Amino acid sequence: MKKAAQKFKGVYAFVLTPTKDDGGSIDEDGLCRFIDLQIESGVDGITVFGSTGGIGSFSEDERKRVIEVAAEHINGRVGLVAGVGSIQTPESIRLAEFAEDAGADGALVVPITYWPLTDNEIYGHFEAIAKSVSIPVGIYNNPGTTGVDIKPALIARIADIDNVGFVKESSGDMSRITAIRQHTGGSISILNGWDASTPQAIAAGVDGWFAGSCSIMPAQCVELFNLGYRQRDMDRMRAYVEPMYPICEFMGAKGYIRVAHSACEILRHPMGPPRRPLRMLEAADRVHLEGLLAKLTAASSPAKHAVANWPGEVSNAVRPRL
């Protein structure tokens, strides 16, 4: 395995980007509190500006500021990966260079595009970004959101670039994990990105999990991964995921970002809404989510981590124990 790949293992929280003023501005204090909750819950790393973080909803300057705030606040406590995907290669390069200078441990690149891209165009995009920095660069394959499917053969071609060190595979096709490992010869870390299929991904041999559902249930995500990956207790892992699965499935169906922002409000530590035109869940979906959270609470073991740093009284009827 490449040196660039070796640090990317475990659970990386895909954090939402807290907002104020109906999504009009970024809540930096809220971001720091949210990062602290994730770290207290035991995650191995933080990712800003994944899909759950609203990568396409913020300007280049706003994204740089969030990367800077996150890097300063984390201060080496866990790893930091910055999402640097953009519709333009030069912007992705600028973001990757900024992330490196700010102290990020890796740059995650999702191809954002209006026009269908050829394999050579995708390769050239990654090549230019990877050559601009020395930190590890990750491939983010999320065809359901981007419409761009980076298949295992192309991932292997991109993985030959020196500092490309990891891939977040979010197609939901678990056979891709084996295919990527075989095509790359195990040279890069493979992290799952389809939360509802995490047990299957662990069984298939992933090295980690970029988890959007950490924004709702971080300690449960950490425990699930520990059971399957570190303890290799597949029976307990299968039992443990049962109350988590409906929430993961709901996030996939309704949009990770809508569900994450809505769940934080339900759990009474509001992080503001996504930026328009995205909105919180509609009334019926919110009621359904409240029911899922209540079931998770009923099934959860006693709290491992305090959440006293969150403002407001929290109803135990809907709050998962974190």
* In the predicted structure, residue 318 carries a pLDDT above the cut 80: no
Q: Taking all residues of the chain, what is their mean pLDDT, rounded to a whole number?
A: 93
CA torsion sign for 273, 274, 276, 282 is negative
Over range 279-308, report the average pLDDT.
81
| Token pair listed for 45 | 């790393």
Q: CA 1 to CA 3: how far, in whole Å? A: 7
Chain-centroid distance, C-alpha 211: 5
pLDDT band at residue 301 under the 50/70/90 scheme: low
* In the predicted structure, residue 321 carries a pLDDT above the cut 50: no
- 311 cis-preceded (ω within 30 degrees of 0): no
112 contacts 95 by C-beta, under 8 angstroms: no
Pairing of strands 19-20, 25-26: antiparallel
Specify the CATH class of 3-299 in words: alpha beta
Q: CA 220 to CA 322: how far, in whole Å? A: 7
Among the listed residues 168, 229, 240, 256, the single catalytic one is: 168
* In the predicted structure, residue 163 carries a pLDDT above the cut 70: yes
- CA separation (Å) from 251 to 31, 60, 181, 234, 289? 21, 27, 27, 24, 10
> Exposure string (b/e) for 126-145, b if CB count within 10 Å is 16 or more?
bbebbebbebbbbbbbbeeb
State which amino acid sits at residue 263.
A
| Token pair listed for 226 | 């520990």
* In the predicted structure, residue 308 carries a pLDDT above the cut 50: no
Report the predicted TM-score, pTM, of the whole model to 2 decimal places. Answer: 0.92
pLDDT of residue 304: 44
Among the listed residues 12, 64, 140, 240, the single catalytic one is: 140
Does residue 168 have an active-site annotation?
A: yes
* In the predicted structure, residue 306 carries a pLDDT above the cut 50: no
